[in-house]
Every structure is written in structure tokens, then in C-alpha cells.
Amino acid sequence: MAAYKDEERGTWYVSFHYTDWTGTNKRKLKRGFTTRKDALEWEHHFLAQQSENMDMTFGDFVVIYLADMEKRLRESTMISKRYIINLKILPYFKDKKISEITAPDIRKWQTEIMKGDYAKTYLRSIQEQLSAIFNYAVKYFDLRKNPCQIAGGMGKHTADEMDFWTLEEFQQFIEVMMNKRVSYMGFMILYWTGIRLGEMLALTVADIDMDKKTLRINKSLQRIKGRDVVTEPKTPRSNRVITIPDVLLDDIRDYIKSLYGIRPTDRLIPVTKTFMEHEIKRGIQESGVKDIHIHCLRHSHTALIASLGATPVEAAERLGHEKVQTTLNIYSHVMPGRHEEIAEKLDQAYKETQG
């Protein structure tokens, strides 16, 4: 490798040939480096990325990984992914060769991360981001193994406790929301359907089928870089059509009639996530119900339909979960007494056979 001085500009540059992934020989020119060292270092990283050699640094590999993921994931997902990688992972592993990172290295990193005051579910998210990078290297770049699998995980998939409202608590809450019709309608939809907040905010008038009593979910409203953007739903299974009860359908019908000049393509609830988050805090304070996060209305709906006999598979289809296991985790939190209920039913069945 060689670097050259640009006498006219007083900076350094590199000029070299390399073979790209298609086998084509190409020339690369890069100017504007302050020092010769900076120029040579840039050339080294560039060639490492082009060669796709597992002797490259973890930081160089992350550039390749993120470039590929950007083509496959939603913009909002990439923002979250980059945030965790840049703040929690790269500072520790950036300059290490990816092929030389071991399980003990992962354990030491976990120890440092766990010193922070993070929720167990957030710790799990950080761990999964790191493991995803190594899995990508194993699958597509012939890295021998994922050291995260040997080191073990940290954190938990689900919280130790899961907050939700009973039907009685929701009714207590929704009564104080009637003074703002858009807020009332938004929370009614969230509770009685279990859809995600972004899905609810992206709903249009055309998504409501009054005759079939159904709601179509095929998009989501995301806040990205200070702007509201309508995107595809979170997962493929999030595209769904769900039935809605008459109590909600009647409210939606009256609500739409009250909106002068609304078109089929107009958003049904034309507010922001921040507005809804402020409104749930207001309603909690005024109604006196226990404090929950707005996402917990999804858990509240799950608890309601579970109490009415919905199976986890039925609930997963309604909620748009990619995996039934996600629904089962919620069931275990919102219906903790089901095991005792099953035992009681078994006892009753036995007694009936004894005459």
C-alpha cells in the first residue's frame, strides 16, 4: 500500500486497484486526508471490506452488515439497530478482528453493559443485536462460529411483570376521555382491537368495512427523523383483517359522520404518537386508574380475549404476532391463574367419573 502527497492542496490521497465481489478489477482514488497515516488506514479498511475476509475488524464488518440490512428492513428499524450498535457494541468491539472475538470477550462485554441501569428486556435487545451480526457473518461469510451462542445471553425476552387494564379499569379510564372525541375514538380502537399504536394512527376511513364489521391493517405510522411517515406494517403477519365488536363499530360510524368532508383515504385518527402518549397520561391522572404505558393496551386486549376463551393461536392472528410464542409469553403474564383453573377442572372431571 502507498499514499501520495497532493502538493497543491497540502493533503494526502490513495490510488490503487482492487478486485470487487464480481471479480472485476477496478481503480479507487480517494483524496483529502490530513495525514499519510489516515490515508493508509482508509485504504486498509476499504480493502478489508472488499475482500470480505474474516480478518477484518468488527467495525469494518458492521459497515457491510448495515449496508445489506438497509435494503431489507424498515427505516425505523434501522434507526433503532444503528443506535444500539453505535452506542452499546462498537465502542467495545470496533477495533477487534471479528474472527478473534471469543466467548470470554462477549462475557466481559456483558459485564460492562449490565453495569448500566437497563431493563432486562433492553439488555436482551442489545444482546440480540450483537448475536445477529455474528449470525450474519457465520451464514454469509464463513465465520466458523457465533461466540454469543457459547457465551450465553443476558436479560430476558419479557418483563417479570406485565401491566394491563381490566375491562372495568378501561371503562373507568375511557369515561374521562369523552371530552376529546379524537382521543376517545383512538383509545377505543386500541383497546377493543389490540392493534399497535402505529397501526391505529395509520388507519384510513377505507380500512373500515361497516357491512362486514372488519378492520384492515396494512400500514403503520412511524416517527422517523422528526417526520411522520406511513410505512409497511412491522412484520408480514401484521397485514391482517380483524373483526370488530358492535360497541366499537357504532362509535366509529358516529365518529366518521361527525367529520365534515372526510375522504376514504384520509387518516381516521389524524394525531401523533406524542399526542396519544400525553392523552393517556391525562386520562390516568383524571380517572385514577393504575399507570400503564400505551403499548399495554395491547396486553389489555389480550387479557380480555383470553378471558373470553380465545386460544393463543387465535390471539396471535388477531394481534399480528409473527410467532405464537410471543402470544404465549403474554398469556402467561395476563392469565396467571389459568393453571389453577385447569387443575380445578381436572378435579371436577375426576369427581364426575366417580359418580
What span, in angstroms and rounded, lies between the C-alpha atoms of 103 and 137? 16
- Domains in the chain (CATH in brackets) are 4-151 (1.10.150.130), 167-338 (1.10.443.10)
Contacts of residue 194, defined as CB under 8 A and 6 or more positions apart, other chains included, come to 297, 298, 301, 302, 305, 318, 319
What span, in angstroms and rounded, lies between the C-alpha atoms of 303 and 167? 9
What span, in angstroms and rounded, lies between the C-alpha atoms of 50 and 267? 46
Sign of CA dihedral 237, 238, 240, 246: positive
| DSSP per-residue string spanning 104-123 | HHHHHHHHHHTTS---HHHH
Cell of 25: 478489477
CA distances from 152 to 122, 214, 258, 261, 327 (A): 16, 44, 56, 57, 24
* Tens-binned pLDDT, residue by residue, of the chain (355 aa): 688 998 888 999 989 888 765 567 888 888 999 999 888 888 876 776 666 666 788 998 999 899 888 888 888 788 889 989 998 999 999 999 998 999 999 999 999 888 877 778 788 889 999 999 999 888 877 788 999 999 988 887 665 566 889 899 999 999 999 999 999 999 999 999 999 999 999 999 999 999 999 999 999 988 777 778 888 877 778 899 999 999 999 999 999 999 988 999 999 999 999 999 999 999 999 999 999 989 889 989 988 888 888 888 888 889 888 777 777 777 776 665 555 555 566 667 766 776 5
Cβ neighbour number for residue 298 with a 10 Å cutoff: 21
Cβ neighbour number for residue 17 with a 10 Å cutoff: 8
Whether the full predicted model's pTM is greater than 0.85, yes or no, is no
Q: What is the CA radius of gyration of the chain?
A: 27
